[in-house]
Amino acid sequence: MKLAAATLWAMFLLFATAARSAEGQGAALTVYAAAAGDPESGFAWVEEQRSIEVAAGYNRVLWEPLPRAVEPNSVRLAVAKEAGAVRSLAQTFLPGMGEGQPLLAALVGKPVRVEPRPARGRLFEGTLVQAVPQLALRDARGQVHMFPDPGYVQVEADSVPVLRNAVAWEIEAERAGVLPLVVRYETSAVSWSAEYTVTLVPGPKENQGRLELAGAVLLENRTDVSWSEARLQLVAGEVHRALPRTRPRVAVWPREMVAMSKTDDEAKPQPVGEYYEYTLPRPVALPAGARVRLDVLGVFRDVPYEEEFLCRSLVADGIVARSTPVTERGPGAGQIQPVEIFLRFQNKKEQNLGIPLPAGVVRVGQTRGEGLGAWRFLGSSELPHTAAGEDVVLALGTAFDVVAERRQTDFLVQSEQRRMEEAVAIELRNHKERPVRVRVLETLYRAQQWEIVESAPKFTKKDARTLEFLAEVPAKGRASVSYRARYTW
User: What is the pLDDT at residue 250?
Assistant: 40
Higher pLDDT: 243 or 441? It is 441
pLDDT at 143 over 60: yes
pLDDT at 254 over 60: no
For the stretch 302-314, pLDDT in tens is 999 999 999 998 8
* pLDDT tier for residue 251 given thresholds of 50, 70 and 90: very low
- 48-57, 223-232, 273-282, 421-430: which is most confident: 421-430
User: What is the pLDDT at residue 23?
Assistant: 53
Looking at residue 99, the DSSP 8-state letter turns out to be T
pLDDT at 469 over 90: yes
Asked if residue 333 lies in contact with residue 424, where contact means CB atoms within 8 angstroms, the answer is: no
Helix or strand holding residue 103 (H, E): helix 103-106
Q: Which three-class secondary structure state does DSSP give residue 353? A: coil
pLDDT at 201 over 90: yes
pLDDT at 228 over 50: yes
Higher pLDDT: 323 or 440? It is 440
Backbone angles phi, psi at 6, to 5 degrees: -65, -40
pLDDT at 365 over 50: yes
| CB proximity list for 153: less than 8 A, separation 6 or greater | 11, 12, 104, 107, 112, 113, 114, 115, 135
pLDDT at 353 over 90: yes
pLDDT at 432 over 60: yes
pTM as predicted: 0.76
Q: Which three-class secondary structure state does DSSP give residue 350? A: helix
Mean pLDDT (whole number) for 69-89 = 83
Backbone angles phi, psi at 5, to 5 degrees: -60, -45
Q: What's the rounded Cα separation, in Å, for the pair 134 and 153?
A: 13
User: What is the pLDDT at residue 158?
Assistant: 67
| CB proximity list for 452: less than 8 A, separation 6 or greater | 459, 467, 483, 484, 485, 486
User: What is the pLDDT at residue 323?
Assistant: 73
Q: What's the rounded Cα separation, in Å, for the pair 378 and 364?
A: 6
User: What is the pLDDT at residue 319?
Assistant: 72
User: What is the pLDDT at residue 25?
Assistant: 65
* pLDDT tier for residue 96 given thresholds of 50, 70 and 90: confident
| CB proximity list for 372: less than 8 A, separation 6 or greater | none
Mean pLDDT (whole number) for 209-213 = 96
Which of 28-42, 350-364, 432-446, 473-487 shows the lowest per-residue confidence on average (mean pLDDT)? Answer: 28-42
Distances (CA, A) of 413 to 86, 189, 443: 86, 58, 19
Cα 146 to chain centroid, rounded:
50
User: What is the pLDDT at residue 370?
Assistant: 84
* pLDDT tier for residue 358 given thresholds of 50, 70 and 90: very high
User: What is the pLDDT at residue 217?
Assistant: 93
User: What is the pLDDT at residue 315?
Assistant: 84
pLDDT at 157 over 70: no
User: What is the pLDDT at residue 343?
Assistant: 96
Mean pLDDT (whole number) for 31-49 = 85
On average, the pLDDT of the chain sits at 85
pLDDT at 399 over 60: yes
Mean pLDDT (whole number) for 189-216 = 92
Domain boundaries, the chain: 5-187, 193-297, 302-488
Show the 3-state SS of 47-72.
EEEEEEEECCEEEEEEECCCCCCECH
pLDDT at 26 over 80: yes
Report which residue type is found at 91: Q
Higher pLDDT: 355 or 273? It is 355
User: What is the pLDDT at residue 379?
Assistant: 94
* pLDDT tier for residue 348 given thresholds of 50, 70 and 90: very high
User: What is the pLDDT at residue 10?
Assistant: 35
User: What is the pLDDT at residue 131?
Assistant: 84
Looking at residue 7, the DSSP 8-state letter turns out to be H
